[in-house]
């Protein structure tokens, strides 16, 4: 993905089009952040044009997962993590509540043995992403 990442980064330096923009990628999830209103849709079009010229890896935009968000002073969900305006990262409150429910079931010996392994995974994720 190194070549693709560089080609993608070559798209965004035009501040008149994209403002102060950053592209972040985690595996095949891309996040475009900017301070310019309307730049996200322009970026998606440019991203799609790049994808049409790229043969490997074979990537496509999943329209059902594409989101346009604006949260002045708020937080956003990106690949399952809550990212605050100041850059602080944490898990979403609903996810935290789900893990608490699983812990309660475990404490009351009502959690299935197969789900204990999943609970351990959830706890490791929370400890890594949002230790408080």
Same domain assignment for residues 58 and 109: no
| Overall domain count for the chain | 2
pLDDT, tens digit, 9 for 90 and up, residues 108-117: 999 998 899 9
Same domain assignment for residues 129 and 78: yes
Same domain assignment for residues 8 and 65: yes
User: What CATH number corresponds to the domain at position 12?
Assistant: 3.30.70
Is it true that the peptide bond before 57 is cis, omega within 30 degrees of 0?
Answer: yes
Residue at which a domain ends, from 23, 53, 70: 70
Same domain assignment for residues 45 and 79: no
Model pLDDT, residue 110: 95
By residue range, what is the domain housing residue 130? 73-132
C-alpha–C-alpha distance, residues 31 and 66, integer Å: 10
pLDDT, tens digit, 9 for 90 and up, residues 3-31: 888 998 898 888 888 888 888 887 888 88
Helices 93-107 and 113-129 cross at an angle (nearest 10°) of 140
Model pLDDT, residue 74: 60
Residue at which a domain ends, from 23, 49, 70: 70
Average per-residue pLDDT for the chain: 85
Render the burial of 69-83: b for 16+ CB within 10 Å, e for the rest. eeeeeebeebeebbb
What pLDDT band is residue 34 in, cutting at 50, 70 and 90?
confident
Residue at which a domain ends, from 70, 92, 109: 70
Same domain assignment for residues 78 and 60: no
pLDDT, tens digit, 9 for 90 and up, residues 47-86: 999 989 988 878 888 888 887 776 665 667 776 777 776 6
Same domain assignment for residues 52 and 20: yes
Phi/psi of residue 10, each to 5°?
Answer: -70, -20
Phi/psi of residue 106, each to 5°?
Answer: -65, -45
């Amino acid at each position: 993905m190194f070549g693709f990442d560089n080609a993608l980064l070559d798209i965004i330096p035009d501040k008149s089009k994209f403002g102060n923009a950053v592209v972040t990628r985690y595996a095949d999830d891309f996040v475009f952040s900017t301070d310019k209103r309307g730049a996200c849709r322009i970026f998606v079009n440019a991203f799609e044009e790049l994808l049409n010229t790229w043969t490997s890896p074979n990537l496509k935009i999943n329209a059902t997962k594409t989101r346009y968000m604006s949260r002045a002073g708020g937080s956003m969900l990106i690949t399952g993590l809550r990212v605050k305006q100041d850059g602080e990262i944490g898990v979403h409150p609903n996810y935290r509540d789900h893990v608490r429910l699983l812990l309660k079931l475990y404490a009351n010996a009502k959690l299935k043995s197969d789900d204990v392994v999943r609970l351990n995974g959830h706890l490791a994720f929370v400890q890594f992403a949002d230790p408080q």
